[in-house]
Amino acid sequence: MTSVSGIFSAVHQVHVLVLVAALAMARMVGLMILMALFTRARIAGLLRNGVAIALSIPLMPLVYKTVVETNMDATMMVALGLKEMFLGATLGFVMSLPFWAAEAAGDIVDLQRGVTMGSLIDPMMTHETSITGTLFSIVMIVIFLSLGGLLLMLDIVYTSYRIWPVDQFTPIFRAESITLFLNLCTRIVTMALALAFPLIVGLLLSDILLALVSRAAPHLNIFAMSLAVKSLSFTVLLLLYAAFLLTYLKGELSFFGEINSFLEDLVDVR
């Protein structure tokens, strides 16, 4: 009888540990589903779950303590797991802004130089994207990883457990939280325009030059020339802008240092 009760106790303990592991990794899985760093690397399925478990190991003692103290049942843990995935996706959205801004800047530049017809199907993102947008996005990811951005990302995720605990369904939002969130959404446009502006100005000057040439030599096929001239101008401008571009992209990643304070301003931490 004692051995049977011991077996049931061990099975129950394993069941609790499995639920704790699932609840601990839910926020990380939600983050990896949406964050550009992981979606571009096509980390999905079993690989994504394995990485999420590895990154969530430091959180398991905290989650286990919370589960034991609050005496959660399976239904409550499922509901909290869905909440955790939603919160992780929200964090992934916020942390993807610099990468999406870089890609949007490339889209704007390609639109300005008239090569949107040359867009490609990105096998990593599984949607149509511009060539320059893909380049800027990959460069941003390389800079992010080289600067230790993965550790900064983990710090943001781990800090979010203090701001929004596992056993709390909804935090108390501040009155100005809507304004803060809208300002955050508009930041992607500001980042993209600031990044693309020097290249847009250079391409605009090439348009003006082509307009002057068309008036001086009206028999020339300016439209056919414009694609080659703009592509050549873009290549030269990008080479000249490269050093400043890397510095600017590095500066945009300082946005990650503001996320914790943004989350604290968004909710009433008690």
Q: What is the pLDDT of residues 86-104, one digit of tens each?
A: 888 888 888 888 888 888 8
C-beta atoms surrounding 153 within 10 Å: 21
Q: What is the pLDDT of residues 187-211, one digit of tens each?
A: 778 888 888 888 888 888 888 888 8
Predicted confidence (pLDDT) at residue 138 exceeds the cutoff of 60: yes
Q: What is the pLDDT of residues 1-25, one digit of tens each?
A: 557 677 767 776 777 788 888 888 8
- Residue 114 backbone dihedrals phi, psi, to 5 degrees: 75, 35
Confidence of residue 227 (pLDDT cuts 50, 70, 90): confident
Query: Helix (H, G, I), strand (E, B), or coil: what is residue 110?
Result: helix
pLDDT at 98: 86
pLDDT at 16 (0 to 100): 75
Q: What is the pLDDT of residue 252?
A: 76
Distance of CA 170 to the CA centre of its chain: 23
Domains of the chain: which residue ranges? 1-88, 96-270
Buried b / exposed e over 64-98, threshold 16 CB at 10 Å, is bebbeeeebeeeebeebbebbbebbbbbbbbbbbb
**205-212 contacts, C-beta under 8 A, 24 or more apart:** 206/230, 206/233
Tens-place pLDDT, residues 27-63: 899 898 888 888 877 777 788 888 888 888 888 888 8
- DSSP annotation of 252 reads H
Q: In the chain, where do the E strands start and end?
A: 120-122, 127-129
- Reported pTM: 0.81
